[in-house]
Structure 1
Amino acid sequence: MSEQKLAAELRTEFGKGYARRARMANLIPAVIYGHGEAPVHITLPAKATTLAVRTPNALLSLDINGEARLALVKDIQRDPIKQIIEHIDLLNVRQGEKVTVEVPVHVEGESAPGTVHNLELTTVSVEAEATHLPETLSVSIEGRAAGEHIHASDLALPKGVTLLTDAEALVVNVSEATVVAEEEGEQAEAAEEAPEAAEEAAAE
Protein backbone atom coordinates (compact mmCIF):
# COMPACT_ATOMS: atom_id res chain seq x y z
CA MET A 1 0.00 0.00 0.00
CA SER A 2 1.45 3.35 -1.00
CA GLU A 3 1.65 6.24 1.44
CA GLN A 4 -0.72 9.17 0.95
CA LYS A 5 1.08 12.45 1.57
CA LEU A 6 -0.87 15.16 3.40
CA ALA A 7 -0.03 18.50 4.96
CA ALA A 8 -1.36 18.82 8.50
CA GLU A 9 -1.48 21.57 11.10
CA LEU A 10 -1.35 21.37 14.87
CA ARG A 11 -4.49 22.54 16.67
CA THR A 12 -5.04 23.81 20.20
CA GLU A 13 -8.82 24.29 20.06
CA PHE A 14 -11.33 21.54 20.75
CA GLY A 15 -15.06 20.96 21.12
CA LYS A 16 -18.06 20.83 18.82
CA GLY A 17 -17.92 24.56 18.07
CA TYR A 18 -14.34 24.36 16.85
CA ALA A 19 -15.03 21.17 14.88
CA ARG A 20 -17.91 22.90 13.11
CA ARG A 21 -15.73 25.91 12.23
CA ALA A 22 -12.96 23.60 11.00
CA ARG A 23 -15.34 21.75 8.68
CA MET A 24 -16.63 25.06 7.31
CA ALA A 25 -12.99 25.89 6.52
CA ASN A 26 -12.63 22.53 4.69
CA LEU A 27 -10.54 21.00 7.45
CA ILE A 28 -10.97 17.69 9.30
CA PRO A 29 -10.02 17.43 12.99
CA ALA A 30 -7.85 14.40 13.79
CA VAL A 31 -5.78 12.94 16.61
CA ILE A 32 -2.60 10.85 16.47
CA TYR A 33 -1.82 8.44 19.31
CA GLY A 34 0.46 5.47 20.00
CA HIS A 35 3.96 4.49 21.18
CA GLY A 36 3.13 5.79 24.66
CA GLU A 37 3.35 9.38 23.44
CA ALA A 38 0.90 12.13 24.29
CA PRO A 39 -1.90 12.46 21.68
CA VAL A 40 -1.18 14.98 18.92
CA HIS A 41 -4.23 16.96 17.76
CA ILE A 42 -4.16 18.14 14.15
CA THR A 43 -6.33 19.25 11.25
CA LEU A 44 -6.18 17.77 7.75
CA PRO A 45 -7.30 19.16 4.37
CA ALA A 46 -10.82 17.79 3.82
CA LYS A 47 -10.76 17.04 0.08
CA ALA A 48 -7.32 15.40 -0.08
CA THR A 49 -7.94 13.44 3.12
CA THR A 50 -11.32 12.14 1.96
CA LEU A 51 -9.65 10.78 -1.18
CA ALA A 52 -6.70 9.33 0.77
CA VAL A 53 -8.83 7.33 3.23
CA ARG A 54 -11.07 5.65 0.66
CA THR A 55 -8.98 2.47 0.95
CA PRO A 56 -9.12 0.46 4.21
CA ASN A 57 -6.18 0.91 6.63
CA ALA A 58 -4.86 3.90 4.69
CA LEU A 59 -1.28 4.88 5.54
CA LEU A 60 -0.72 8.64 5.70
CA SER A 61 2.62 10.40 5.38
CA LEU A 62 2.01 13.62 7.30
CA ASP A 63 3.91 16.88 7.21
CA ILE A 64 2.97 18.56 10.51
CA ASN A 65 4.45 22.03 10.41
CA GLY A 66 7.63 20.61 8.87
CA GLU A 67 7.78 17.43 11.01
CA ALA A 68 7.29 14.13 9.15
CA ARG A 69 5.11 11.41 10.66
CA LEU A 70 3.66 8.11 9.47
CA ALA A 71 0.15 7.37 10.67
CA LEU A 72 -2.34 4.58 10.06
CA VAL A 73 -6.06 5.36 9.86
CA LYS A 74 -7.76 3.46 12.70
CA ASP A 75 -11.21 5.03 12.90
CA ILE A 76 -13.30 7.48 10.89
CA GLN A 77 -16.34 9.23 12.34
CA ARG A 78 -18.86 10.37 9.73
CA ASP A 79 -22.03 12.41 9.82
CA PRO A 80 -24.81 9.77 9.83
CA ILE A 81 -26.85 11.67 7.25
CA LYS A 82 -24.40 13.60 5.05
CA GLN A 83 -21.64 10.95 5.42
CA ILE A 84 -18.97 13.66 5.50
CA ILE A 85 -15.94 12.93 7.67
CA GLU A 86 -16.18 14.60 11.07
CA HIS A 87 -13.09 13.22 12.81
CA ILE A 88 -10.26 10.73 12.23
CA ASP A 89 -8.27 8.66 14.73
CA LEU A 90 -4.72 7.90 13.59
CA LEU A 91 -2.14 5.45 14.93
CA ASN A 92 1.47 6.62 15.01
CA VAL A 93 3.66 4.01 13.22
CA ARG A 94 7.27 3.60 12.16
CA GLN A 95 8.96 2.10 9.09
CA GLY A 96 9.18 -1.68 9.51
CA GLU A 97 6.84 -1.76 12.50
CA LYS A 98 4.25 -4.53 12.51
CA VAL A 99 0.62 -3.70 13.23
CA THR A 100 -2.64 -5.61 13.52
CA VAL A 101 -5.42 -4.64 11.11
CA GLU A 102 -8.71 -5.92 9.72
CA VAL A 103 -8.45 -6.56 5.96
CA PRO A 104 -11.51 -6.94 3.67
CA VAL A 105 -12.04 -10.29 1.90
CA HIS A 106 -12.57 -10.10 -1.88
CA VAL A 107 -14.32 -12.98 -3.65
CA GLU A 108 -13.18 -13.83 -7.20
CA GLY A 109 -14.73 -16.08 -9.84
CA GLU A 110 -18.09 -17.85 -10.10
CA SER A 111 -19.19 -20.97 -8.24
CA ALA A 112 -20.67 -23.93 -10.13
CA PRO A 113 -23.98 -23.43 -11.97
CA GLY A 114 -27.00 -23.70 -9.68
CA THR A 115 -25.07 -22.60 -6.60
CA VAL A 116 -24.69 -19.40 -4.61
CA HIS A 117 -21.96 -18.27 -2.24
CA ASN A 118 -22.33 -16.59 1.14
CA LEU A 119 -19.49 -14.42 2.47
CA GLU A 120 -19.51 -15.36 6.15
CA LEU A 121 -16.49 -13.19 7.07
CA THR A 122 -16.17 -9.82 5.36
CA THR A 123 -12.81 -9.07 7.02
CA VAL A 124 -10.00 -11.06 8.64
CA SER A 125 -7.43 -9.97 11.18
CA VAL A 126 -3.77 -10.00 10.09
CA GLU A 127 -0.40 -8.75 11.23
CA ALA A 128 1.86 -7.01 8.73
CA GLU A 129 4.37 -4.21 8.35
CA ALA A 130 2.63 -0.85 8.52
CA THR A 131 4.16 0.17 5.20
CA HIS A 132 3.16 -3.08 3.45
CA LEU A 133 -0.45 -3.65 4.42
CA PRO A 134 -2.65 -5.53 1.93
CA GLU A 135 -5.71 -3.58 0.78
CA THR A 136 -7.73 -6.80 0.35
CA LEU A 137 -7.27 -10.57 0.57
CA SER A 138 -8.65 -12.52 -2.38
CA VAL A 139 -10.25 -15.95 -2.45
CA SER A 140 -11.36 -17.81 -5.58
CA ILE A 141 -14.70 -19.64 -5.69
CA GLU A 142 -14.35 -20.55 -9.39
CA GLY A 143 -16.22 -23.81 -10.05
CA ARG A 144 -16.85 -24.53 -6.38
CA ALA A 145 -19.69 -27.00 -5.84
CA ALA A 146 -22.54 -26.83 -3.32
CA GLY A 147 -21.40 -27.90 0.14
CA GLU A 148 -17.84 -26.64 -0.27
CA HIS A 149 -16.41 -24.41 2.43
CA ILE A 150 -13.52 -21.94 2.29
CA HIS A 151 -11.77 -21.23 5.58
CA ALA A 152 -9.45 -18.44 6.67
CA SER A 153 -6.48 -20.78 6.15
CA ASP A 154 -7.38 -20.95 2.43
CA LEU A 155 -6.79 -17.23 1.88
CA ALA A 156 -3.71 -16.30 -0.14
CA LEU A 157 -1.53 -14.14 2.10
CA PRO A 158 1.16 -11.84 0.67
CA LYS A 159 4.72 -12.31 1.88
CA GLY A 160 5.23 -10.95 5.38
CA VAL A 161 1.53 -11.09 6.31
CA THR A 162 0.47 -13.35 9.20
CA LEU A 163 -3.12 -14.52 9.70
CA LEU A 164 -4.47 -13.82 13.21
CA THR A 165 -8.08 -14.89 12.63
CA ASP A 166 -8.73 -18.54 13.56
CA ALA A 167 -7.49 -20.65 10.62
CA GLU A 168 -10.68 -22.77 10.76
CA ALA A 169 -13.02 -19.74 10.68
CA LEU A 170 -15.55 -20.08 7.83
CA VAL A 171 -15.04 -17.36 5.22
CA VAL A 172 -17.18 -18.51 2.26
CA ASN A 173 -19.95 -21.09 2.16
CA VAL A 174 -21.12 -22.42 -1.23
CA SER A 175 -24.67 -23.79 -1.25
CA GLU A 176 -27.36 -24.85 -3.67
CA ALA A 177 -29.34 -21.95 -5.12
CA THR A 178 -32.73 -21.61 -3.42
CA VAL A 179 -34.59 -21.42 -6.72
CA VAL A 180 -33.02 -24.67 -7.92
CA ALA A 181 -33.84 -26.40 -4.65
CA GLU A 182 -37.44 -25.19 -4.78
CA GLU A 183 -37.88 -26.33 -8.38
CA GLU A 184 -36.52 -29.79 -7.55
CA GLY A 185 -38.89 -29.97 -4.59
CA GLU A 186 -41.85 -29.04 -6.78
CA GLN A 187 -40.82 -31.63 -9.38
CA ALA A 188 -40.59 -34.31 -6.68
CA GLU A 189 -44.05 -33.39 -5.38
CA ALA A 190 -45.46 -33.50 -8.92
CA ALA A 191 -43.90 -36.94 -9.47
CA GLU A 192 -45.51 -38.22 -6.25
CA GLU A 193 -48.90 -36.77 -7.12
CA ALA A 194 -48.94 -38.15 -10.68
CA PRO A 195 -49.54 -41.84 -9.74
CA GLU A 196 -52.24 -40.81 -7.26
CA ALA A 197 -54.01 -38.75 -9.92
CA ALA A 198 -53.80 -41.69 -12.35
CA GLU A 199 -55.31 -44.06 -9.76
CA GLU A 200 -58.17 -41.64 -9.02
CA ALA A 201 -58.88 -41.27 -12.76
CA ALA A 202 -58.91 -45.05 -13.17
CA ALA A 203 -61.29 -45.47 -10.23
CA GLU A 204 -63.72 -43.03 -11.82
Structure 2
Amino acid sequence: MSEKIKAETRTEFGKGAARRIRRENKIPAVVYGHGNEPIHLTLPGHDTMMALKHGGANALLELDIDGKTQLALTKQVQVDPIRRVLEHVDFVAVVKGEKVTVEVPVHLNGDAAKETLVVTETTTIQLEAEATHIPEFIEVDIEGAAAGTQIHASDLKLPSGSTLLLDPETLIVNITEQISAEALEAELEEAEAEAGIEHDAPEAEAAEEPAAEAASEEPAAE
Protein backbone atom coordinates (compact mmCIF):
# COMPACT_ATOMS: atom_id res chain seq x y z
CA MET A 1 0.00 0.00 0.00
CA SER A 2 1.45 3.38 -1.03
CA GLU A 3 1.21 6.74 0.72
CA LYS A 4 0.12 9.75 -1.34
CA ILE A 5 2.43 12.78 -1.22
CA LYS A 6 2.20 16.00 -3.21
CA ALA A 7 5.63 16.89 -4.58
CA GLU A 8 7.08 20.02 -6.20
CA THR A 9 9.77 19.93 -8.87
CA ARG A 10 12.86 22.01 -8.09
CA THR A 11 15.58 23.62 -10.18
CA GLU A 12 17.89 24.84 -7.38
CA PHE A 13 20.59 22.47 -6.20
CA GLY A 14 23.51 22.43 -3.81
CA LYS A 15 23.88 22.79 -0.04
CA GLY A 16 22.54 26.34 0.05
CA ALA A 17 19.35 25.40 -1.77
CA ALA A 18 18.90 22.32 0.44
CA ARG A 19 19.21 24.44 3.58
CA ARG A 20 16.57 26.87 2.31
CA ILE A 21 14.23 23.98 1.59
CA ARG A 22 14.68 22.53 5.08
CA ARG A 23 14.09 25.93 6.71
CA GLU A 24 10.64 25.81 5.11
CA ASN A 25 10.03 22.42 6.79
CA LYS A 26 10.35 20.64 3.46
CA ILE A 27 12.69 17.89 2.25
CA PRO A 28 14.84 17.73 -0.90
CA ALA A 29 14.49 14.43 -2.75
CA VAL A 30 15.48 12.72 -6.01
CA VAL A 31 13.68 10.01 -7.99
CA TYR A 32 15.91 7.76 -10.13
CA GLY A 33 15.17 4.91 -12.50
CA HIS A 34 13.61 3.54 -15.69
CA GLY A 35 16.23 5.15 -17.90
CA ASN A 36 14.90 8.66 -17.32
CA GLU A 37 16.75 11.69 -16.05
CA PRO A 38 16.63 12.02 -12.23
CA ILE A 39 13.65 14.02 -11.00
CA HIS A 40 14.60 16.57 -8.32
CA LEU A 41 11.76 17.26 -5.92
CA THR A 42 10.73 19.10 -2.79
CA LEU A 43 8.47 17.14 -0.42
CA PRO A 44 6.36 18.29 2.55
CA GLY A 45 8.39 17.53 5.69
CA HIS A 46 5.77 16.21 8.12
CA ASP A 47 3.75 14.19 5.59
CA THR A 48 6.89 12.59 4.16
CA MET A 49 8.27 11.74 7.58
CA MET A 50 5.00 10.05 8.59
CA ALA A 51 4.79 8.14 5.28
CA LEU A 52 8.34 6.81 5.64
CA LYS A 53 7.77 5.91 9.27
CA HIS A 54 4.58 4.03 8.42
CA GLY A 55 6.07 2.27 5.40
CA GLY A 56 9.29 1.14 7.04
CA ALA A 57 12.62 0.60 5.29
CA ASN A 58 10.97 -0.04 1.92
CA ALA A 59 8.26 2.61 2.00
CA LEU A 60 6.38 3.03 -1.27
CA LEU A 61 5.13 6.55 -1.93
CA GLU A 62 2.67 7.72 -4.55
CA LEU A 63 4.11 11.06 -5.60
CA ASP A 64 1.89 13.65 -7.25
CA ILE A 65 4.35 15.49 -9.54
CA ASP A 66 2.78 18.30 -11.52
CA GLY A 67 -0.51 16.44 -11.70
CA LYS A 68 1.09 13.13 -12.71
CA THR A 69 1.39 10.14 -10.37
CA GLN A 70 4.72 8.38 -9.90
CA LEU A 71 5.22 5.36 -7.64
CA ALA A 72 8.54 5.71 -5.84
CA LEU A 73 10.32 3.14 -3.67
CA THR A 74 12.48 4.50 -0.85
CA LYS A 75 16.16 3.55 -1.28
CA GLN A 76 18.15 5.90 0.95
CA VAL A 77 17.16 8.28 3.72
CA GLN A 78 19.57 10.81 5.23
CA VAL A 79 18.76 11.84 8.80
CA ASP A 80 20.44 14.56 10.86
CA PRO A 81 22.29 12.64 13.63
CA ILE A 82 21.67 15.35 16.24
CA ARG A 83 18.19 16.69 15.52
CA ARG A 84 16.91 13.41 14.03
CA VAL A 85 15.11 15.16 11.19
CA LEU A 86 15.02 14.13 7.52
CA GLU A 87 17.64 15.81 5.36
CA HIS A 88 17.30 14.06 1.99
CA VAL A 89 15.54 11.08 0.41
CA ASP A 90 16.47 9.04 -2.66
CA PHE A 91 13.75 7.07 -4.45
CA VAL A 92 13.63 4.58 -7.32
CA ALA A 93 10.75 4.94 -9.78
CA VAL A 94 8.61 1.79 -10.07
CA VAL A 95 5.40 0.75 -11.82
CA LYS A 96 2.57 -1.47 -10.66
CA GLY A 97 3.29 -5.16 -11.15
CA GLU A 98 7.04 -4.58 -11.39
CA LYS A 99 9.28 -6.89 -9.36
CA VAL A 100 11.92 -5.25 -7.17
CA THR A 101 14.72 -6.55 -4.97
CA VAL A 102 14.52 -5.41 -1.34
CA GLU A 103 16.00 -6.08 2.09
CA VAL A 104 13.27 -6.95 4.61
CA PRO A 105 13.83 -7.15 8.38
CA VAL A 106 13.13 -10.29 10.40
CA HIS A 107 10.79 -9.94 13.40
CA LEU A 108 10.49 -12.61 16.11
CA ASN A 109 7.05 -13.44 17.49
CA GLY A 110 6.47 -15.14 20.83
CA ASP A 111 8.79 -16.47 23.54
CA ALA A 112 10.99 -19.53 23.35
CA ALA A 113 10.95 -22.16 26.11
CA LYS A 114 12.36 -21.26 29.52
CA GLU A 115 16.12 -21.30 30.08
CA THR A 116 16.92 -20.83 26.40
CA LEU A 117 18.95 -18.22 24.58
CA VAL A 118 17.51 -16.84 21.33
CA VAL A 119 20.01 -15.45 18.81
CA THR A 120 18.92 -13.82 15.54
CA GLU A 121 21.78 -14.81 13.26
CA THR A 122 20.37 -12.99 10.19
CA THR A 123 18.45 -9.78 10.86
CA THR A 124 17.37 -8.99 7.28
CA ILE A 125 16.66 -11.14 4.23
CA GLN A 126 16.71 -10.31 0.55
CA LEU A 127 13.49 -10.79 -1.39
CA GLU A 128 12.08 -10.20 -4.81
CA ALA A 129 8.56 -8.87 -4.51
CA GLU A 130 6.01 -6.80 -6.39
CA ALA A 131 6.66 -3.12 -5.82
CA THR A 132 3.13 -2.61 -4.50
CA HIS A 133 3.23 -5.67 -2.22
CA ILE A 134 6.51 -5.38 -0.33
CA PRO A 135 6.18 -6.82 3.21
CA GLU A 136 7.27 -4.53 6.05
CA PHE A 137 8.90 -7.50 7.76
CA ILE A 138 9.02 -11.29 7.81
CA GLU A 139 7.60 -12.77 11.01
CA VAL A 140 9.24 -15.79 12.62
CA ASP A 141 7.23 -17.65 15.27
CA ILE A 142 9.41 -18.94 18.14
CA GLU A 143 6.63 -19.46 20.72
CA GLY A 144 7.65 -22.37 22.96
CA ALA A 145 10.65 -23.31 20.81
CA ALA A 146 13.04 -25.61 22.66
CA ALA A 147 16.82 -25.46 22.91
CA GLY A 148 18.37 -26.88 19.76
CA THR A 149 15.78 -25.31 17.46
CA GLN A 150 17.27 -23.76 14.32
CA ILE A 151 15.25 -21.80 11.80
CA HIS A 152 16.73 -21.50 8.31
CA ALA A 153 15.78 -19.30 5.37
CA SER A 154 13.94 -22.24 3.81
CA ASP A 155 11.64 -22.37 6.87
CA LEU A 156 10.39 -18.80 6.48
CA LYS A 157 6.79 -18.16 5.47
CA LEU A 158 6.87 -15.59 2.69
CA PRO A 159 3.93 -13.52 1.45
CA SER A 160 2.35 -14.57 -1.83
CA GLY A 161 4.30 -13.22 -4.79
CA SER A 162 7.59 -12.94 -2.88
CA THR A 163 10.68 -14.96 -3.79
CA LEU A 164 13.61 -15.63 -1.46
CA LEU A 165 16.96 -14.38 -2.82
CA LEU A 166 19.04 -16.04 -0.13
CA ASP A 167 20.71 -19.40 0.34
CA PRO A 168 17.94 -21.64 1.78
CA GLU A 169 20.43 -23.02 4.31
CA THR A 170 21.17 -19.59 5.78
CA LEU A 171 20.63 -19.70 9.55
CA ILE A 172 18.07 -17.11 10.63
CA VAL A 173 17.40 -17.94 14.29
CA ASN A 174 19.39 -20.20 16.62
CA ILE A 175 17.94 -21.25 19.99
CA THR A 176 20.36 -22.76 22.48
CA GLU A 177 20.34 -23.77 26.12
CA GLN A 178 20.91 -20.83 28.40
CA ILE A 179 24.24 -21.06 30.19
CA SER A 180 24.18 -20.62 33.97
CA ALA A 181 26.24 -17.99 35.77
CA GLU A 182 28.33 -20.74 37.39
CA ALA A 183 29.07 -22.42 34.05
CA LEU A 184 29.95 -19.09 32.46
CA GLU A 185 32.34 -18.27 35.30
CA ALA A 186 33.99 -21.69 34.97
CA GLU A 187 34.47 -21.14 31.22
CA LEU A 188 36.05 -17.75 31.85
CA GLU A 189 38.41 -19.18 34.46
CA GLU A 190 39.42 -21.97 32.09
CA ALA A 191 40.05 -19.48 29.29
CA GLU A 192 42.15 -17.29 31.60
CA ALA A 193 44.16 -20.32 32.73
CA GLU A 194 44.87 -21.34 29.14
CA ALA A 195 45.87 -17.77 28.29
CA GLY A 196 48.27 -17.78 31.26
CA ILE A 197 49.94 -20.96 30.04
CA GLU A 198 50.38 -19.48 26.56
CA HIS A 199 51.95 -16.33 28.03
CA ASP A 200 54.35 -18.33 30.23
CA ALA A 201 55.60 -20.50 27.38
CA PRO A 202 57.40 -17.72 25.43
CA GLU A 203 59.01 -16.47 28.67
CA ALA A 204 60.37 -19.95 29.41
CA GLU A 205 61.75 -20.24 25.88
CA ALA A 206 63.36 -16.81 26.20
CA ALA A 207 65.03 -17.86 29.46
CA GLU A 208 66.42 -21.03 27.87
CA GLU A 209 68.02 -19.23 24.93
CA PRO A 210 70.65 -17.22 26.91
CA ALA A 211 71.61 -20.37 28.84
CA ALA A 212 72.10 -22.26 25.61
CA GLU A 213 74.16 -19.40 24.16
CA ALA A 214 76.36 -19.27 27.30
CA ALA A 215 77.00 -22.98 27.09
CA SER A 216 78.06 -22.70 23.46
CA GLU A 217 80.55 -19.90 24.28
CA GLU A 218 82.45 -21.95 26.98
CA PRO A 219 85.91 -23.05 25.74
CA ALA A 220 86.27 -26.70 25.04
CA ALA A 221 88.25 -28.68 27.65
CA GLU A 222 91.86 -29.51 26.56
5+ long unaligned stretches in structure 2? 188-222
Q: Is this contact kept in 2: 1:114–1:180, CA < 8 A?
A: no
- Contact 1:139/1:154, CA 8 A, preserved across alignment: no
Q: TM-score, normalised by structure 1?
A: 0.86
Distance 1:183 1:38 in 2: 59
Give the TM-score of the pair, scaled to structure 2: 0.80
Q: Once the 2 structures are TM-superposed, how far is the Cα of residue 178 of structure 1 from its aligned partner?
A: 2.9
Q: 1:9 to 1:183 in 2, by over 3 A?
A: closer
1:117-136 mapped onto 2 (5 Å cutoff): 117-136=118-137
Aligned match of 1:114: 115
Answer yes or no: is 1:21 the counterpart of 2:29.
no
Native 8 Å contact 1:78 1:86 kept in 2:
yes
Change (3 A) 1:89 1:12: same
Note closer, same or farther for the CA distance 1:170–1:181 as it changes in structure 2 (3 Å cut): farther
CA drift at 1:183: 8.0
Q: Residue in 1 aligned with 2:195?
A: none
Task: Report the CA distance between 1:165 and its aligned residue.
Answer: 1.4
Q: Which amino acid aligns with 1:172?
A: V
Do the aligned partners of residues 180 and 141 (structure 1) sit closer, same or farther apart at CA in structure 2, a change above 3 Å counting? farther
CA contact (8 A) 1:103 1:123 kept: yes
Q: Equivalences for 1:43-192 in 2 at 5 Å? A: 43-54=42-53, 55-179=56-180, 182=183
Q: Which has the larger radius of gyration?
A: 2
Separation in 2 of the partners of 1:182 and 1:45?
A: 56
* RMSD over equivalenced CA pairs, Å: 1.7
Distance 2:169 2:118 in 1: 18
Q: Deviations over 1:32-68 (max 9, x none)?
A: 0011111000010000000000122011001012111
Distance 1:183 1:79 in 2: 41
Q: Give secondary structure in 1 for the equivalent of 2:126.
A: strand
What is the one-letter code of the residue matched to 1:45?
Answer: P
Of all paired residues, the percent bearing the same amino acid is 55
What is the identity, as a one-letter code, of the residue corresponding to 1:146?
A
Secondary structure at the aligned position of 1:145 is classed as: coil
